[in-house]
Amino acid sequence: MTLDFAGQTALVTGAGRGIGREIVRQLATRNVKIIAICRTCSDLDSLKKEFPTNVIAIELDLRDWTATRKALEPYADKIDMLVNNAAYAKCTPLGEITEQECDDHYSLNVKAIINVTQCVTVGMKQRRSGSIVNVSSLAGLVGYKDHLVYGSSKAAVDLMTKIMALELGPYNIRVNSINPGVTNTEMAKVGWSDPERRDWMLSRCPLGRFNEPVEIAQAVLFLLNQKSGLINGVNLPIDGGIYTTKM
């Protein structure tokens, strides 16, 4: 199946590394113009060299509500697709969670999605067309030890996705979320480096392996594309069957 994105522009947050970087790469190979948001744009230098006419990199701290709106203003009415990927993650047991940790999670994982989406959907509403994918997590669907703050922030993303789909659907704007399990990014390799912890999670997966970033990116592209034109308000686990089988 060929996914056609001719003439379209996408905004991708958290675009510098991991899943976000792979989403940018996959879109760029399909000649999509991409506005790539990251806190440190040096991570995007190689992609800009690889796709010099496709990628516009913006260095931005999405936790700053006002600065975000100002930075996006020149592009907001030109965006056809939005991927809310930027996120903060730290695993801390109940009893040791700090106020700062709560603020770090909710300001980026929740508030920033609301802010960016409100900016971008002004133009989408006018054109009566658009597609949004929010990158959530399996931790938003399943309770994991030490994931109280992170997991609850991602659960908020899943519910926001449903409400956005409800409110934006009449404007022909679709909103879905993906819920990846462990994905082989540099961050995950550190977080799941303990053999006992890693083997426990792998034992719960019917396919017996973790995600690769390209597999997540390909699912995002399908949801962005009109080939998935009636898929709306869905929280899609991408985890090799962990959530579905409840192993």
Which positions are catalytic?
150, 154
CA atoms within 13 A on the CB side of 44: 30
Give the length of the chain.
247
> Cα–Cα distance between 58 and 127 in angstroms, integer?
24
* Burial (CB count within 10 angstroms: exposed 0-12, middle 13-18, buried 19+), residue 193: exposed
What the block records as the tokens of 207 is 């396919």
Residue 177 has which token pair? 């979320």
Tokens at 28, concatenated = 């760029």
What is the torsional sign of CA 23, 75, 9, 117?
positive
Rounded to whole angstroms, the maximal C-alpha distance in the chain is 52
> Is the CB of residue 30 less than 8 Å from the CB of residue 78?
no
CB atoms near residue 95 (< 10 Å): 6
- 38 close to 230: Cβ distance less than 8 angstroms: no
